[in-house]
Structure 1
Amino acid sequence: MSGTHELEDLLRRLAPRVLAALVRHFGNFETAEDAVQEALLAAATQWPGRGVPDNPSAWLITVASRRMTDQLRSEQASRQREEWVHAQTPSDEFLSPAADVERRDADDTLILMLLCCHPSLTPASQVALMLRAVGGLTTAEIAKAFLAPETTMAQRISRARQRIRAAGATFEMPPEHERAERVPVVLHALYLIFNEGYTATSGPSLHRVGLTAEAIRLTRIAHKVLPQDGEVAGLLALMLLTDARRPARTRPDGSLVPLAEQDRTQWQPDSLKEGLDLITGILSRARLGPYQLQAAIAAVHSEAGRAEDTDWPQIVALYKLLQQVAPSPMVSLGHAVAVAMVRGPQAGIELLAPLEADGRLPDHHRLHAVRAHLLEMAGDRAGAHESYRRAARLTTSLPEQHYLHSRAARLAPEDS
C-alpha cells in the first residue's frame, strides 16, 4: 500500500462487502455495523506496518465476525446461542474469490443503500447511515462533514439503526414494486451527499471533495446494478457534469468563481465526456425524470465553450419541463435566471415575486443572491447592493459570504 489515501480508499471500497457478508449471515444490522467499524479500525492500525493481506476482504470479514461473535456471546451467554453463532460465521467458500464477485459486491452495496434509506428514517438519518455503513466513514468524519457535534451524529446513527431493526428489515433485494419506490429515496440521499460536497452549506471551504467522490462512487454502483434506470443514469450524469467544473470554481485563495466567469479550459474533459455520453444515451430510451432533466441542463452549459455561447432558450425549455415533472422553489429560481438571460432581467425579476411570497424561500440566501444578480443586470445598483448584503447574512458558507460581500462592495454608494 503506497500511502494513507490508498489504504483509506481500499477500506472504503471493502466496507459494503464486509457489512453485507455479516448482515446476510447474522441478520443483525446494528451489531454487524459496529463490528465492521471495529474491523476497519483494526485494519487501518495494523496494515500499514504488516502489509495488506492477500485477501483483504476475507481478513476484514473474519475479524468482524469474531467481534460480532464476542458481542453476541456477551449478550446471551448460553451455550446454545454460542453454537448458533459459530454455525452462522461466514464460510471459507463465501470468503474465497469468485468469478462473479464484482457483480455480487455491486448488488450487495445497492441492497445496503436501500436498507440505509428505509422509509422509517428521515432524509438526514438516511444520509448519515449511508455514509457510515456504505461509505465506510467514521461517525467523527460524518459529523465533521456536516459540522455537527459527534455526539449528535452518533445518536442519529444509533436511532436510525434501531428503527431499521424495529421495522424488521432484512438483507435482501426488495421485490420490484417496492424497489421502484425505494430507489428514488436512495437517489435523493446520494444527491444530498453530492450537493453538500460540491457546495458545503457551512464552513471555510466551498468543496468537500471526499463527499462528492463518495456520492459519485455509490451512484456508479447503483448504475451498474440498474443500467436501464433512467434516473440513476441521469443522476450520475448530473454529478459528473457538475463536478467537472470544480477545478474552475475557486481561485488559488479559495474564493468562489461564478459559472459565467469560470475558465472553461479547466473543466475536466473526461468527466464531461462521460456525463454527456450518459445523458445522451439515456434520454433516447428512458422515461423522463427530474435528474435526467437537470443533467440535460448541465449538458447545455457544458457544451458552451464560452458563457456567452450558452443556449439559454434551450435551458428555459428544459426548466419548463422540469417544473412540470418535479416543481420546487429551487427549480423556479433556476427558471427565473434562464428567462432573464433570454428576455432580460426584468422578466426574471417578475418571476421571483411568487417565490418571495411562497413562504418556503424568504430566508434562503440563493433567492436574494439571484435577485441581486438580476437587479445588477437591470442597473439597480442600490437594490442589488442591499440584496447581496442580505444574501451574505443568510448563508453560513464562508466562500459564498466572501463572494456576496465582494459583489455588494462593488455596488456600495460612494459616501457609505
Structure 2
Amino acid sequence: MGGTVTDGNRIDPLGDDSGDPAGGSQVLRRIEAIWRLDAGRIVAALARWTGDFQRAEDAAQDALIAALEHWPTRGVPEHPTAWLLRTARNRAIDHLRREQRGDALLGDYGREIARSHFAGSTPECRDDARHDALALLFIACHPTLSPDTRCALALRIIGGLDNAALARAFLVPEATIAQRIVRGKRTLAEARIRFEMPSAADCRERLGSVREVIYLIFTEGHVPSQGAEWAQPDLCHMALRMARILAQAAADDAETQALLALIELHGARLAARMDEQGHPVLLEDQDRRKWDRGGIRRGLAALARANRLARTRDPDPNRESDAGPDIAPGPFRLQAAIAACHATAPTFAATDWRQIAAHYATLFASTGSPAARIHEARAAAQLDDPARVLARLDAELDVRALARYVPLHAVRGDLLERCGERAAAAVAFRLAAEHSGNAAEQRLLLARAQRAGTGPDSHKGHPPQ
C-alpha cells in the first residue's frame, strides 16, 4: 500500500493495515522498541529535509504521540517506521505552512518527499536512511560546538537519550545538559549549517568526536543509565550499524577500525548477559556457549586491521610490506585489545588479567580516565592483594569528586569484601545502588550488599548467584 499526496503537497500517512491488532501493553512495548531503534533515522531524515534540529525533533515527537494515540486501538501498521516517518513529515509540513514559510518552500518539500518516498508501492524508508544518521552525527560534531555539546546533541538526536540519561552519562546536573542541547541547536541554526555530509576534510577533523558519540550510544545500550532493563540491545545494534558504516568510510583509520572491533566484541556477549527472566548475568557466570562466535571473529578481524594500520605507513590495510614500528595505541585500540582478551579466554579463570590490567594502566596514563583506573583495579585484584589494590585506587582517585560514580563504589565494595571488610563493602554497594538509575543494576548491587553480611534484605529481584 502506498501513501497519497493530497491538498497540494501534504502526504497522507499509511492506513492502519495491521499485522498486530492487539492493544494495550503489548503494543506500547512494540512502540517503545521501534522508537528506540529508529528514532535516530527518522530525526536524521527530517533534519536533512527541514535544515533544523528542533523542527525535526518536534515533528518526530508529534509522530510518536500519534502512534501512541492510534496504534493501541487500530493496530500496528505493517511498516511502522515508514508510518512514523510519513506522519512526522506531515507534521513538519504543517508547521512550515502555519509559519508561513512560503508556497515555494512547501512545494519543494512536498515534491522532494513525494519523489523520494513514493516512487514505489511499498512504504519503506530510504535505502540511505542510515547514511542520513551518519551525516547528522558529523553535523552534530561541528567544530563550532564544544566537545561536551557535540556528544550531548548527537546522543539526544541519534541515540534518543533524554536529558536525565545524558546527565548520568556526563556526570553533570540535568539542567546543564538541557542548556547544552539548546545552545547547540541554536549555534547550528545561527551558523546556517547545511544538513548534508560534510567534506572529506571536515569529516576527518570530526572523526574523533563521531567515534566517541557512537561508543557512548553503545555503552548506554550495554548498561542503560536509567530504566528497568539491564540492557537495551536495540541501542547496541544501532551503534554497531553506525560503527560499521563509519569503518567503511574511514577504512584507513586505525582507531575507527578499533572502535568497530570493540563494539563487535562486546556485542558478541549480549545474549549471555541476561538470563531468561532478564536478570543480569555477570561475566564470571556467563555461559560462553551463548557468545556470538561470528561477532567475535569479526571483532578480532577489525582489531587486526587496526593494528596493521597502526604499524604501516601505507594507508591500504591489506598491504603489510611497508610495515614500520607500532604507533602508541589509542584508547579504542586499547579497549578493543582488552575486549579481545575476554572474548578469547576459554574460562573466566583463564583470562589474561595481567595483560588486561596493563592495558588499563596504559589507558589511564594516556587519558586520565577514572573509569580506566577503576577497571585496572578490578583486573589487578584477580592477581594482587586486594588491600594493596584498594589503597592504590583510593590514593590515585578523588573519591569525593566521584561521589556519584557507580563503578567506583561497586569496585570498592568488591575490594573491601575481598579484604574481609564486609560491613564497609555493604555500605559501598549500597552507595552504588543509590546512585544508579538502572533498576536491574540496583537490585544486583543491593543483593551484593546483603550478601556482604549487613543490613536488611533490600533485594526484591533475583540476580545471579
- CA displacement 1:208-267 (0-9 Å, x = unmatched): 222222222222222232222322222222222222222322334443332122222222
* C-alpha contact 2:354 2:383 (8 A) present in aligned 1: yes
Match of 2:250? Answer: 226
Cα shift at 1:160? 4.6
Cα shift at 1:301? 0.6
Counterpart of 1:354 (choices 389, 395, 398) is 395
Match of 2:171? Answer: none
* C-alpha contact 2:46 2:89 (8 A) present in aligned 1: no
- CA displacement 1:27-81 (0-9 Å, x = unmatched): 445445555666788899799788669xx98x9988876655554343236xxx4
SS at match of 2:207: helix
Counterpart of 1:411 (choices 446, 452, 456) is 452
CA distance in 1, matches of 2:66, 2:421: 61
Cα shift at 1:369? 1.6
Match of 2:241? Answer: 217
Paired letter, 1:90: E
SS at match of 1:278: helix
CA distance in 1, matches of 2:269, 2:86: 42
CA distance in 1, matches of 2:220, 2:272: 18
Residue range with higher mean Cα deviation, 61-70 or 399-408: 61-70
Compared CA separation, residues 33 and 342, structure 1 to 2 (3 A): same
CA distance in 2, matches of 1:239, 1:306: 21
Percent identity between matched residues is 32
SS at match of 1:407: helix
Cα shift at 1:311? 0.8
Note if 1:243 corresponds to 2:271: no
Match of 2:7? Answer: none
Aligned-residue RMSD, C-alpha: 4.2
Structure 2 unpaired stretches of 5+: 1-17, 21-26, 169-175, 311-326, 458-465
Structure with greater helix share of residues: 1
Match of 1:15? Answer: 42
CA distance in 1, matches of 2:60, 2:433: 42
CA distance in 1, matches of 2:403, 2:55: 44
Cα shift at 1:386? 3.5
Structure 1 unpaired stretches of 5+: 133-140
Match of 2:291? Answer: 267
- CA displacement 1:335-385 (0-9 Å, x = unmatched): 122222233323321321224435432332321221221232233334433
How high is the TM-score relative to the length of structure 2? Answer: 0.69
Cα shift at 1:12? 5.8
* C-alpha contact 2:45 2:133 (8 A) present in aligned 1: no
Counterpart of 1:385 (choices 426, 443, 456) is 426
Match of 1:90? Answer: 112
CA distance in 2, matches of 1:206, 1:19: 31
Compared CA separation, residues 233 and 309, structure 1 to 2 (3 A): same
Cα shift at 1:403? 2.0
Compared CA separation, residues 340 and 144, structure 1 to 2 (3 A): closer
Compared CA separation, residues 61 and 310, structure 1 to 2 (3 A): closer
Match of 1:282? Answer: 306
Match of 2:375? Answer: 334
Match of 2:212? Answer: 188
CA distance in 1, matches of 2:382, 2:76: 58
Match of 2:203? Answer: 179
The number of aligned residues is: 394
SS at match of 1:375: helix
Paired letter, 1:110: L
* C-alpha contact 2:59 2:89 (8 A) present in aligned 1: yes
Paired letter, 2:154: Q
CA distance in 2, matches of 1:233, 1:373: 34
Compared CA separation, residues 144 and 93, structure 1 to 2 (3 A): same
Residue range with higher mean Cα deviation, 199-208 or 41-50: 41-50
* C-alpha contact 1:20 1:109 (8 A) present in aligned 2: no
Compared CA separation, residues 36 and 176, structure 1 to 2 (3 A): same
Counterpart of 2:281 (choices 247, 254, 257) is 257
